[in-house]
Amino acid sequence: MNALDLAKQLQARFGNLISEPTEFRGEVTVTVADAERIAEVCDAAKRDLGFDFLLDITSIDNYGDDPRWTLVYHLYGLGHRCHLRLKTHVSEEKSELPTVTGVWRTADWHEREIYDMMGIRFRGHPDLRRILMWEGYPYFPLRKDFPLAGKPSEVPEVAFTEAAPLEGGPFVTLPGGRDAIEREPRVRTPET
């Protein structure tokens, strides 16, 4: 039994809810058409197909497109050693879907990170609160409409006593330079 066979079993069980499996470089992906049923599909993948390990949940911001977000669930079966990727889409208007913490407890922190960085809510999550940014932080820093140079924020008695520039981060800057603004890719002028 390989991942493609298991994905076809999942598709046979759920019919049109699951897309035709695609394989690219040995990795198999199916798309769940209705994000409201992602927990049900994940439960079947774990219980019936042996995908007992949730490796990761990631989110993609498709800014400018509808639906805005794609959520990607990376599954692995310890018994059969197969990987499977489930994708589902969430619109900006809804920006909510059911939690899968009832299927895999490890989803807890993955979902909290997605909520904290993208603002996508997980209905039924046992403790949906920020995990990286502080409570009360008004933005979602991994959204594509969040400026790479950051946004000024007044957070007295929480993290700083003065306005603090919330500058991009290590994933958008280059090493060296006098300050974060100089390292910011969109601020630098092209070298001639």
What is the model's pLDDT at position 190? 53
Q: Which of 9-13, 101-105, 133-137, 167-171 has the lowest mean pLDDT?
A: 167-171
Q: With beta carbons less than 8 A apart as the criterion, state whether 181 and 167 touch.
A: yes
What is the model's pLDDT at position 180? 62
CATH superfamily of 3-139: NADH:ubiquinone oxidoreductase Nqo5 subunit (3.30.460.80)
What is the model's pLDDT at position 183? 61
Q: For residue range 80-132, list pLDDT tens digits in order.
A: 999 999 999 999 998 999 999 999 999 999 999 999 999 999 999 999 999 99
72 vs 154, more confident:
72
What is the model's pLDDT at position 94? 87
What is the model's pLDDT at position 24? 93
Residue 44: is it exposed, middle or buried by C-beta count within 10 angstroms (0-12/13-18/19+)? middle
Full-model pTM:
0.79
Could you tell me the residue ranges of all domains in the chain?
Answer: 3-139, 147-192
Token representation of residue 82:
């197969």
Q: For residue range 7-56, list pLDDT tens digits in order.
A: 999 999 999 999 999 999 889 999 999 999 999 999 999 999 999 999 99
147 vs 35, more confident:
35
CA distance 30 to 40: 15
What is the model's pLDDT at position 171? 46
